[in-house]
Amino acid sequence: MSEAVRQLEPTALWNYFSDINAIPRASKKEEQIIQFMMDFGQQLGLETIKDHIGNVIIKKPATAGLENKQIIVLQSHLDMVHQKNGDTQFDFATEGIKMIVDGDWVKADGTTLGADNGIGVATIMALLASTDIAHPPLEALFTIDEETGMTGAMELKGGMLDASIMLNLDTEDDDELTIGCAGGVDITAKGTYQKEAASPDAIAFTLSVKGLSGGHSGMDIHKGLGNANKLINRILYHLCTEKKIQIASIDGGSLRNAIPRESKAVIYITPSDQDAIEEIVAKIGDAIVNEHNTTDPDIVIQFEPSDSKTQVIPMDIQQRLIKSIYACPNGIYRMSPDIASLVQTSNNLARVLVADGKYEILCLTRSSVDTEKDDLAQAIRSTFELLGADVTTDGSYPGWTPKPESAIAKLMADLYRANFSEEPNVNACHAGLECGILGQNYPDMEMISFGPNIRGAHSPDEKVQISSVQKFWGFLLDTLQKSPEKNN
């Protein structure tokens, strides 16, 4: 299945992508891929360094004639988001990604592909291993744990890199040159409750919302995609308001940076209310399907009998929990008043888990304005503190301030026009790129981010366009060969 990928052009890049996709590399579990990269650099005879946190740096001298060019650091992250469809049998800890060539796209069989940011890693590897590609002095920086905490970028010390220019290979549209990004902060609300037995005559049902499109909570937040946690809570709210139900458990979403695709809840109802409750579910469900038929055409809402024997949440906590989740902001909070079409601030209600006397709610709040990010985080904190939850914020990282007049931005925009006879989209993005964090210890380094077309990142629909990878590869080689010379 994956062998067809190795035949694609440029073959070195696709072969390295296949190699790393055979290695488990979940965020915070990158030991195998770190060792693989260390072995890779050392086998090439290049200076190879692992810092205290696990970032890998490989340095390669310039090819003959380009020694006077400025040093360029090529940067990508080693970890990938592990997501799979509910009906896919796959063990990320032991299996390599099963890749499929589908026309002009490479995708995976029911799981995330790892093109984010594996294509960037493979690109850098191909350059480091090459013997016939002209390039300036290179420093390759492979960071860890980008997807769940930006840990590698945060822990990289000043003085580890000598480069004056950074090319971050982690953008998902091949006509974009990204020169700024949003910062973010993780919000966690936790609490406990005393479990109760369901009413003696109550019967159990499972309510599920699934089949949503999902996606990246930064890059895709402007698309108005459905959030399974918010949608199931909407149904539960109406059920709680109009009839007596007892909630036993809720399990929705997964990672903070993934828009939730699925959620399910086990509830107990009075048998005499079954017909009325099914009508409410159908009515609200039809409204949800109609509202999301463009963004989430495959959404499915089910209400089915369950054999669950789980105890339930006390009624007072149930009411406050459902209302707090209803009140929690989700999606776009504010658009930028300065940059057209840029989401300035947003929140992703990423995870809701209620079971066995505990509840946990995870959010990721993003903004390109740190003060507004903090303000929205405080609003969310207040929402869940009214529930009585213990709310913490951590993992805060800064945004990346755009510098459109930098030499590398101008050079790459000119090269793009010359190579492709069209204007590049020079912009800032709402995702959390590592550039803003890395810039704290390297404030004078010019940075830009670009990459090939990747769709559905952080979801099992993830795919990367073959022709776009070829375009990106050629553009990168041209940039390296025409990069700025050292300031004398």
347 has a pLDDT exceeding 70 = yes
Tell me which residue of 338, 345, 194, 352 sits closest to 265, measured CA to CA: 352
Q: Is the pLDDT of residue 99 over 60?
A: yes
pLDDT given for residue 1 in this prediction: 59
CATH for 3-182+399-481 (3.90.1150.10, 3.40.630.10, 3.40.50.300, 3.30.465.10): 3.40.630.10
**Distance, C-alpha 474 to centroid of its chain:** 26
Domain map of the chain by residue range? 3-182+399-481, 185-397
Percent of the chain's residues with pLDDT above 90: 90
pTM of the model: 0.74
Contact present, 447 and 141 (Cβ < 8 Å): no
Q: Which three-class secondary structure string do you get for 191-210?
A: EECCCECCCCCCEEEEEEEE
Q: With cut-offs at 50, 70 and 90, classify the pLDDT of residue 488.
A: low
Max CA-CA distance within the chain?
85
Q: What's the rounded mean pLDDT across residues 36-54?
A: 98
Which three-class secondary structure state does DSSP give residue 487? coil
- 260 contacts 291 by C-beta, under 8 angstroms: no
> What average pLDDT does the structure give for the chain?
95
* Catalytic, out of 30, 116, 145, 146: 146
Annotated catalytic residue, options 79, 251, 446, 461: 79
Residue 403 has what pLDDT? 85
Q: Is the pLDDT of residue 2 over 80?
A: no
**Is residue 79 among the annotated active site residues?**
yes
Beta strands in 53-168 (DSSP E): 56-60, 72-77, 99-102, 105-108, 138-143, 165-168
Residue 203 — φ and ψ, nearest 5°? -120, 150
Residue 429 host element (H or E): strand 425-429
Task: Taking residues 172-190, report their average pLDDT.
Answer: 95
Question: In a 3-state reduction of DSSP, which class is residue 468?
Answer: helix
CA contacts within 13 A on the Cβ side of 466 = 18
CATH of 185-397, one of 3.40.30.160, 1.10.10.10, 3.30.1490.20, 3.30.70.360: 3.30.70.360
CA distance 162 to 148: 27
Angstrom distance (rounded) from CA 52 to CA 155 = 8
- Nearest-CA neighbor of 255 among 99, 133, 145? 145
Distance, first Cα to last Cα, the chain: 52
Placement of tokens 């951590």 in the chain:
394
Averaged pLDDT for residues 333-359: 94
Give the Å distances, CA to CA, from 170 to 3, 26, 121, 145, 266: 25, 17, 9, 14, 39
